[in-house]
């Protein structure tokens, strides 16, 4: 397979779907004339024109509402937010309209729309630009939530999201847009709701998603050098969540460590912890452990950024704790 950048994988997904279906279009801040704030949409204005690649004002609530209305009337909008931190301004449209439209209309109106953009910390961007929102959107019935960690998954899942008849929240990361990975030239889809075992192991299960996957995989390599075999699962889809893959892994390894960039209270790791103790309690040889960001707003100082986010050495240490815990 060829090796391409994360941003190119996303671009190809949108281009392929827009070529195949004229009802698909892209709208958002700087997606057209500027080729995208992160150059994800580079060249798309030239190919598809201003009717299908649309620059919007800096008004997230307004253009999200236009997208929702367009989706209700037979099109498939892709709405790009420059960052999910700005999308909180559009929460009324995402929560009260897109997520609820199918049920409130008695099945008369679906809302096939994708809301996408970067999520989480990207270094020294301070508190208002460094938040991870997966659990907030996954909390809402009616939304599907995807959070990707590599170019292959990004392309396959974005194509599936665009074709889905439900509203999909698609989360990326600013710091991953330039990262490269293998992606087939031929068309492929990845089903929504299916986790991926990125690394086989026998001693402990590590679950993660988005850019925290790099932390999890690096920790697994270090642990292998110390004789601990870690199985690493990338959730990829937060809602619907692939419980079967996680539970089967825990039945094999008898231990679970969850790594995520979100805050601890009410996070994805909290939900996972509950479900595992409910459905796989008898298989656990140690308490479920979670590693999250610090329960505080992220500051600007680089030492505070580093100290607040999940780190490889923290994952290694916590895995050792569960390995040597008494039954």
pLDDT digits (tens, 9 = 90+) for 3-48: 999 999 999 999 999 999 999 999 999 999 999 999 999 999 999 9
**How much is the pLDDT for 217?**
98
Mean pLDDT for the stretch of residues 289-304: 92
Beta pairing partners, 206: 232, 257
166-208 pLDDT per residue, tens: 999 999 999 999 999 999 999 999 999 999 999 999 999 999 9
Residues 122 and 100 in one domain: yes
What is d(CA 173, CA 167) in angstroms, rounded to the nearest whole number? 20
What is d(CA 10, CA 93) in angstroms, rounded to the nearest whole number? 24
Domain count, the chain: 2
Whether cis (ω within 30° of 0) applies to the bond prior to 240 is yes
Look over the chain and give the mean of its residue pLDDT values, rounded to a whole number: 96
Q: What is the Rg, in whole angstroms, of the alpha carbon atoms belonging to the chain?
A: 20
User: Pick from 151, 183, 215: which residue ends a domain?
Assistant: 183
Residues 162 and 296 in one domain: no
Question: Is 190 domain-assigned?
Answer: no
What is d(CA 17, CA 77) in angstroms, rounded to the nearest whole number? 11
The pTM (predicted TM-score) of the whole model is 0.96
232-244 pLDDT per residue, tens: 999 999 999 999 9
State yes or no: is 17 an active-site residue.
Answer: no
Question: Is 158 domain-assigned?
Answer: yes
Residues 131 and 6 in one domain: yes
Strand, coil or helix: 139: coil
Q: Which tokens go with 321?
A: 């704790």
Q: In the structure, what pLDDT confidence band is assigned to residue 325 with cuts at 50, 70 and 90?
A: confident
Q: What is the 3-state secondary structure (H, E, C) of 234-248?
A: ECCEEECCCHHHHHH
First to last CA, the chain: 45
Residues 149 and 239 in one domain: no
**How much is the pLDDT for 326?**
55
**Number of other CB atoms surrounding residue 162 within 10 Å:** 24
CATH number for the domain that contains residue 10: 3.40.50.970
Contact by Cβ (8 Å): 31, 82: no
State yes or no: is 60 an active-site residue.
Answer: yes
Contact by Cβ (8 Å): 174, 118: yes
What is d(CA 112, CA 275) in angstroms, rounded to the nearest whole number? 30
Residues 148 and 208 in one domain: no
**How much is the pLDDT for 124?**
83
Of the residues 12, 60, 172, 231, only one is catalytic, namely 60
127-171 pLDDT per residue, tens: 888 899 999 999 999 999 999 999 999 999 999 999 999 999 999
Sign of CA dihedral 275, 281, 284, 287: positive
Residues 141 and 229 in one domain: no
**Number of other CB atoms surrounding residue 305 within 10 Å:** 18
Question: Is 98 domain-assigned?
Answer: yes
Question: Is 225 domain-assigned?
Answer: yes
User: Pick from 150, 183, 216: which residue ends a domain?
Assistant: 183
Of the residues 12, 129, 134, 261, only one is catalytic, namely 129
Burial of 251 (0-12, 13-18, 19+ CB in 10 A): middle
Residues 26 and 151 in one domain: yes
Residues 144 and 254 in one domain: no
Q: Which tokens go with 235?
A: 């959730």
For residue 52, what is the DSSP state?
T
Whether 289 shows a pLDDT value over 90: the answer reads yes
Sign of CA dihedral 138, 140, 141, 142: negative
Question: Is 188 domain-assigned?
Answer: no
Contact by Cβ (8 Å): 125, 151: no
Question: Is 35 domain-assigned?
Answer: yes
With a pLDDT cut of 90, the percent of the chain lying above it is 93
**How much is the pLDDT for 274?**
95
Residues 15 and 150 in one domain: yes
Residues 14 and 83 in one domain: yes
Q: In the structure, what pLDDT confidence band is assigned to residue 49 with cuts at 50, 70 and 90?
A: very high
CATH number for the domain that contains residue 200: 3.40.50.920
Whether 125 shows a pLDDT value over 90: the answer reads no
Q: Give the structural domain span for 215.
A: 196-323
Question: Is 113 domain-assigned?
Answer: yes
Residues 253 and 302 in one domain: yes
Residues 78 and 215 in one domain: no
Question: Is 191 domain-assigned?
Answer: no
User: Pick from 125, 154, 183: which residue ends a domain?
Assistant: 183
């Amino acid at each position: 397979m060829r090796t391409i950048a994360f941003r190119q994988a996303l671009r190809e997904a949108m281009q392929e779907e827009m070529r195949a279906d004229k009802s698909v279009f892209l709208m958002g801040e700087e997606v057209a004339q500027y080729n995208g704030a992160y150059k994800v949409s580079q060249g798309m204005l030239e190919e598809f024109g201003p009717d299908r690649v649309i620059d919007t004002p800096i008004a997230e609530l307004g253009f999200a509402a236009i997208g929702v209305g367009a989706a209700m009337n037979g099109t498939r909008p892709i709405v790009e937010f420059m960052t999910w931190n700005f999308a909180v301004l559009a929460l009324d449209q995402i929560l009260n309209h897109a997520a609820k439209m199918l049920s409130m209309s008695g099945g008369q109106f679906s809302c096939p729309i994708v809301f996408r953009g970067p999520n989480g910390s990207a270094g020294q961007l301070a508190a208002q630009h460094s938040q991870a929102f997966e659990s907030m959107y996954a909390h809402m019935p009616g939304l599907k939530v995807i959070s990707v960690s590599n170019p292959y998954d990004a392309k396959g899942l974005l194509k599936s999201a665009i074709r889905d008849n439900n509203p999909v929240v698609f989360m990326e990361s600013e710091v991953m847009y330039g990262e490269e990975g293998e992606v087939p030239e031929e068309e492929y889809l990845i089903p929504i709701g299916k986790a991926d075992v990125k690394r086989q192991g026998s001693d402990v299960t590590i679950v993660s998603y988005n850019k925290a996957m790099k932390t999890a995989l690096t920790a697994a390599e270090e642990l292998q050098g110390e004789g601990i075999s870690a199985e690493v699962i990338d959730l990829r889809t937060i809602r619907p969540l692939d419980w079967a893959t996680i539970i089967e892994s825990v039945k094999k390894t008898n231990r679970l460590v969850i790594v995520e960039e979100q805050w601890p209270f009410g996070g994805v790791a909290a939900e996972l912890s509950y479900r595992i103790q409910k459905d796989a309690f008898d298989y656990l040889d140690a308490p479920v452990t979670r590693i999250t960001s610090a329960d505080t707003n992220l500051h600007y100082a680089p030492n505070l950024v580093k100290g607040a986010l999940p780190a490889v050495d923290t994952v290694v240490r916590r895995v050792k704790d569960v390995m040597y815990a008494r039954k």
